[in-house]
Amino acid sequence: MTYNPTLDAKRAKIMAYWLFGIAGMVLFMVFLGGVTRLTHSGLSITEWKLFTGWVPPMNDADWATLFAKYQQSPEFHKMNPDMDVNGFKGIFWLEFIHRVWGRLLGFAFFLPFVIFMIRGWVRVSAPLFWKLMGLLVLGAMQGVMGWYMVMSGLVDRPDVSQYRLTAHFALALVIIWALLWVGMSLLQKDPYDRHHQDAGGLSGAIKGLFALVFITALSGGFVAGTDAGFAYNTFPLMGDELIPGGLFDYDPWFMAPFEDIITVQFNHRTLAETTFVLVMLFWFKARGRHLHPRSYRAINALAIAAWGQVLLGITTLVMAVPVSFASLHQIGAVVLMSAALWCVHELRTPQLG
């Protein structure tokens, strides 16, 4: 086949925007998952039907069957013993939509992938094939992780494990990171166009910032999983203190960052404040540098995302974690991480030769 650079670039652009679209679908999946958790809808469906879970209840008998299964769960016995079928319908739909969206996401990735292979855009011998296969495996792992998380709330206590919840969220972040990275690499028109950037010190710094953003997001998962957002709803102080009493007052003490709500909230606050300050310092350090315009756009996007996320975090906290702001705050974490990833991609050292 004759090499056609124009056609090759067009194909790369189509596949890049396909991956960006999938990343957007994953972002919406994260939003749905957050709302489902915040409205206590996530344990309404007590079984996982991978291939037959597309169709919702169609009649009263179907609803009665599903409700009877829910009545066997710890959540019903301990939190909703007076719930009837109509009340069950109120918590069922969000979880059902969340699961169906996950299935649609899988098809939105798999079918174009197959088409691209059939048309010869992606060859088995090419590195891109293995990157896309890796993304497919990550997506399958996320489905299994989601059910593994739900199972933890169907045994003894009517709540999912904060460890499994955070792992589920972390894997979603990794999937979005991988989708965006492969997509941005496909759009890189000229591998040499960043060669003359004055990015000394910035490349290493942004990698550290990206890691900090990721760790801060994971600490937010533990806040969500332990309901630590309700421990103190004041800012900048926690109650009347900058450093509250009772930190690490837990047995064993080394589990406090994951299980003690005061310590969990304090750690998340501290990480978030540190992240914000370091992002602003990074933005200030990058001013006046000779950088590619795309790099400047990425750095500005990172600063804007940091401001938005910290304002959302404070608002969510002082308003005692309303569903709307808590959901937006979770999305803000993904946006901030994506902006940091964009900066990492633009400021990385070009591989020449």
Kindly tell me the number of DSSP H helices and DSSP E strands found in the chain.
11, 0
Both structure tokens of 77: 């016995």
Q: Strand, helix or coil at 19?
A: helix
Q: In angstroms, how far apart are the furthest CA atoms of the chain? A: 72
Neighbours of 240 (CB within 10 A): 8
Residues 347 and 234 in one domain: yes
| Structural domains in the chain (count) | 2
Which of 189, 210, 240 corresponds to the end of one domain? 189
Alpha-carbon distance of 320 to 199, in angstroms, equals: 42
Same domain, 113 and 233: no
Half-sphere exposure of 7 (CA within 13 A, CB side): 6
Q: State the Cα–Cα distance between residues 66 and 60, nearest whole angstrom.
A: 10
Whether residues 200 and 131 fall in one domain: no
CA-CA distance, 298 to 293, in Å (whole number)? Answer: 9
201/99 same-domain check: no
The answer to whether residues 199 and 347 belong to one domain is yes
Residues 120, 206, single domain; the answer is no
One domain for residues 183 and 214: no
CA separation for the pair 64, 159 (Å, rounded): 23
The residue among 157, 189, 221 that closes a domain is 189
Asked if residue 178 and residue 122 are part of one domain, the reply reads yes
Same structural domain, 117 and 165: yes
Which of 246, 242, 220 lies closest to 327, judged by CA? 220
Burial 79-98 (b: 16+ CB within 10 A, else e): ebeebeeeebeebbebbbeb
For 218, the domain range is 193-353
Q: State whether 159 and 234 are in the same domain.
A: no
Q: Which of 293, 278, 295, 332 is nearest to 310 (CA)?
A: 332
Residue 236 identity? P
Q: Residue 56's pLDDT is what?
A: 87
Residues 201 and 178 in one domain: no
Whether 251 and 156 share a structural domain = no
Distance, in Å, from the CA atom of 322 to the CA atom of 250, rounded to the nearest integer, reads: 28
pTM, to two decimals: 0.91
Residues of the chain with pLDDT under 70: 1-7, 51-52, 189-196, 350-353
- Choose one of 166, 189, 212: the last residue of a domain: 189
193: which 2 tokens? 């166009």
Peptide bond before 74: cis, by omega within 30 degrees of 0? no
What is the reported pLDDT for 189?
59
